[in-house]
Amino acid sequence: MQEVDKKVTELAPPKYTLNAEQERKEILRHYSALLRGLRPKLKRGDKELVRTAFEMAAEAHKTMRRKSGEPYILHPLAVAKICTEEIGLGVRSSICALLHDTVEDTDVTLEDVEREFGSEIARIVDGLTKISNVIDTSTSKQADNFKKILLTLTDDPRVILIKLADRLHNMRTMDFMKPEKQLKISSETVWVYAPLAHRMGLYAIKTELEDLSMKYMEPDAYKDIAKKLAETKRERTRYINEFIRPLKEKLDVSGFNFEIYGRPKSIHSIWNKIKKKTVAFEEVYDLFAIRIILDSVPEKEKEECWKVYSIITDEYNPSPERLRDWLSNPKSNGYEALHTTVMGPQGRWVEVQIRTKRMNEIAEKGLAAHYKYKEGSNDEDRFDKWFGQIREVISSQDTDSVDFLQDFKTSFLAEEIYVYTPKGDVKMLPVNSTALDFAFSIHSAIGSKCIGAKVNHKLVPISHKLRSGDQIEIITSNKQKPTEDWLNQVVTAKAKSKIKDALKEAKRSVAEEGKYIIQKKLEGLGAAYNQANIEELVQYFKLNSSLDFFYDVAVKKIDLKELKEFTIHGDKLEAPKPLKLPEIKEFDPKPSYGKKESELIIFGESSDKVMYALAKCCNPIPGDDVFGFVSTGKGLIIHRTNCPNATQMMANYGHRVVRTKWAKNKEISFLTGLRIIGMDDVGVVSKITQVISSDMKINIAALTIESEEGLFEGTIKVFVHDKDELDELVVRLKALKGIEMVDRFDTEV
């Protein structure tokens, strides 16, 4: 972590140093820039309103500073500018952005805002204040905060757009924060805010949020890819020009009014490709995409996009699997475009995106542009339907916030597929949806009675995963009822919510029997059947609610003989005191051959040495960037910052994250795993073991090699002292003749 801290600080700008007069000029410069951006949207009286909002915010925040030392008012000004220039919002939203922190952080009240600017602006500021109220409090989970965000989202989408602008500016200016805070905020951003920006159609903002999160969560990989992108820029530009030249000529001849250019893919998306396909940077073929933007009249947009597609595929051969037609079926966030991947010069695949100017504005500015083009139309479009679905799910949600957030992500923030009803109506569903999800999307009564489906006229089970273009007919039976495993067979929040409701209802009717049994039992013991005694029993049997307790009594999961151990004072029950158990020793992370009992780590600012356990999901070793997570009942668990579960944990339980670094200790070994792929050859195993055991004196815990048709794939579990030793081993193995790939994987200890 200390290393991360150092690396990230290298990216930080110099500390803020301006005197009072320079500061005043700086603030006015930012304010003037905001007004310039708003100029085309200003109506009569608007300029005065913006000035009043600016003065109110400047006065309220005048004694406040940001972590960098700069005056706090620069933050609301920057958020308002992002709202105007990057999201395309108007005057009212800019006023709300200027005031977004005043009610929460200063003496300004909501009544002051309403008196000055009216109820609409006061309502949005109230929504933004409700969102911020629980952020960074160690007692409350971040997930509760997100739930509040989503509740305000359905009241007025501008709340969420301003919140996204606020988050973007915070991410752009996070260099002066402590590393653990950077990690927590980055995780939260990549877990919820980036997918939310994507869902609101703000692709540029989504991409920047992901890249900025990666800058703090994976600083080495981020800098490495950024450096390689910079180094290959000239060669890439040359290739793009070569690719574009014949297309440009043909488009000119055809009389199109167009722009054509190449743009690099984001660092985060390149990193995802490298991880997903386990390839090196040099092997990622789509480092850029070609974009063609047409100036078309609305009634000819589709026709002209397909004509351009035809011109491109005449010049270059397309990959049939990589055609994405979002013209016929736009995404529910309004995104329309035609994407194809073609074989370009030098045998390289190139992605080409075809859009019109209107489509491009919706892709860049999302929701705000979408509503601009929709003005005057009364049709309920996909965006409205999406909000309607969210409202429906939120209104029936009483689940734990973390579950709610997970359901929301898979249901509303995932990529989409489109499927058809038997009558040919289109339904948009999240990717990985099943026939059961489809049934619930039609009606909860149909979902509850679903016993199977016909997909493209073939009979399939309810768990069958749907693909874009499928036509589905649901088969129902009045005898069918939802069961517990249905929850594992659906991804949409609506289906999960309705199944939970049905299960709860079924549980309630069984629990009635348990209620009756307990009532009789307590009366027999001479204790009262009341809330206090029931709560005592619920706590004693470690259950979540009285409903669970009554249910477990009814199904005989609880042995009521234990009630004999209780004492009764008057009519009050008192649980027996638990026996004091002997102290259990902490987890021992597999020391090699009886050396020291446990490696030590240092955490916090106090440099205390503490006991810990290693997370089995990512098996950290000394030298990895790590964080400590205070787990209930298990103490401090150490995870790698790039652990598959890290983002979710830091986003949902940021207050439990502890800054952690390794202590120097070369006496202990840690188990880790390597995956090796290469050409099958005589003696390949002995070459590998020679490097590991003889040359580097590293102990092997397990070795598996499988070969097929001239290729072999092996997994090796080894005990290493730290990451440096592991890195050296990887370099030596890669140097062996015939070895194609050596990659670390997370072992199960």
Q: What is the DSSP string of 254-302?
A: TT--EEEEEEEPPHHHHHHHHHHHT--GGG-S-SEEEEEEE---GGGHH
Per CATH, which fold does 235-374 belong to?
A: Beta Polymerase; domain 2 (3.30.460)
What tokens does 38 get?
A: 């708003």
Task: Tell me which architecture the domain covering 670-745 has in CATH.
Answer: 2-Layer Sandwich (3.30)
Please give the CATH number for the structural domain made up of 2-217. 1.10.3210.10
* CA–CA separation, 715 and 748 (whole Å): 13
| Residue 450, CB-side half-sphere exposure with 13 Å CA sphere | 34
The angle formed by the CA atoms of residues 541, 545 and 551, to the nearest 5 degrees, is 75
- Using DSSP's 3-state secondary structure scheme, residue 57 falls into helix
| Residue 582, CB-side half-sphere exposure with 13 Å CA sphere | 1
Residues in the chain: 749
pLDDT score at 586: 37
What tokens does 135 get?
A: 């952020």
As a three-state string, the secondary structure of 91-151 is: HHHHHHHHCCCHHHHCCCCHHHHHHHHCHHHHHHHHHHHHHHCCCCCCCCCHHHHHHHHHH
CB 152 within 8 A of CB 192: no
CB 533 within 8 A of CB 522: yes
What tokens does 682 get?
A: 């005589």
Q: CA torsion sign, 322 to 327 to 328 to 329?
A: positive
Instruction: Confirm whether 325 is a catalytic residue.
Output: no
Helix ranges restricted to H, 449-530: 493-525
CB 262 within 8 A of CB 240: yes
Q: Do the domains 398-500 and 2-217 match in fold?
A: no
Cβ–Cβ contacts within 10 Å for residue 77, how many?
A: 24
pLDDT score at 597: 38
| Average pLDDT of adjacent 10-residue blocks, the chain of 749 residues | 36 59 86 88 87 89 83 91 88 90 83 87 81 44 58 70 91 86 85 82 88 89 89 89 93 91 86 77 78 92 93 92 85 84 89 92 74 53 66 60 62 74 85 92 90 91 90 91 89 86 85 85 80 82 81 81 74 66 37 38 49 79 80 76 79 73 67 86 81 85 82 86 85 86 70
pLDDT score at 100: 86
* CA–CA separation, 570 and 106 (whole Å): 53
**Residues whose CB falls within 8 Å of the CB of residue 223, separated by 6 or more in sequence, listed in order:** 7
* CA–CA separation, 651 and 99 (whole Å): 26
DSSP, res 424: -
pLDDT score at 40: 86
* CA–CA separation, 163 and 193 (whole Å): 9
pLDDT score at 6: 36
Pairing of the two strands 601-603 and 657-662: antiparallel
Give 627-683 as a DSSP string. EEEEETTTEEEEEETT-TTHHHHHHH-GGGEEEEEEPP--S--EEEEEEEEEE--TT
- Residue 294 has φ and ψ, to the nearest 5°, of -95, 145
Cβ–Cβ contacts within 10 Å for residue 9, how many?
A: 11
Per CATH, which fold does 398-500 belong to?
A: Ubiquitin-like (UB roll) (3.10.20)
Q: Residue 428's beta-bridge partner residues?
A: 418
Question: Catalytic one among 104, 224, 501, 535?
Answer: 104
Distance of CA 553 to the CA centre of its chain: 40
Cβ–Cβ contacts within 10 Å for residue 398, how many?
A: 9
334: left (phi over 0), alpha (psi -120 to 50) or beta: left
**Residues whose CB falls within 8 Å of the CB of residue 41, separated by 6 or more in sequence, listed in order:** 84, 90, 91
Give 577-616 as a DSSP string. PPPPPPPPPPP----STT--S---EEETTTTEEE--EE-T
**Residues whose CB falls within 8 Å of the CB of residue 657, separated by 6 or more in sequence, listed in order:** 180, 183, 184, 627, 628, 629, 649, 650
Pairing of the two strands 288-294 and 349-356: parallel
Q: Which amino acid is at 277?
A: K
Domain boundaries defined on the chain: 2-217, 235-374, 398-500, 501-574, 670-745
* CA–CA separation, 440 and 446 (whole Å): 6
* CA–CA separation, 739 and 221 (whole Å): 23
The angle formed by the CA atoms of residues 615, 618 and 621, to the nearest 5 degrees, is 85
| CB environment 555-579: b (16+ within 10 A), e (fewer) | eeebeeeebeebeeeeeebeeeeee
Question: Catalytic one among 105, 114, 286, 381?
Answer: 105
Cβ–Cβ contacts within 10 Å for residue 413, how many?
A: 17
* CA–CA separation, 471 and 580 (whole Å): 62
User: Cα–Cα distances in Å, from 181 out to 165, 217, 373, 643?
Assistant: 19, 11, 40, 17
Q: Closest Cα partner for 632 from 607, 616, 649, 647?
A: 649
Q: Which amino acid is at 692?
A: I
CB 640 within 8 A of CB 218: no
What tokens does 541 get?
A: 């049997």
pLDDT score at 642: 79
**Residues whose CB falls within 8 Å of the CB of residue 557, separated by 6 or more in sequence, listed in order:** none
CB 625 within 8 A of CB 642: yes
What tokens does 258 get?
A: 């167009």
Instruction: Confirm whether 104 is a catalytic residue.
Output: yes
Helix ranges restricted to H, 326-454: 357-365, 367-374, 382-395, 401-412, 435-442, 444-448
- Residue 482 has φ and ψ, to the nearest 5°, of -60, 145
* CA–CA separation, 100 and 97 (whole Å): 5
**Residues whose CB falls within 8 Å of the CB of residue 253, separated by 6 or more in sequence, listed in order:** none
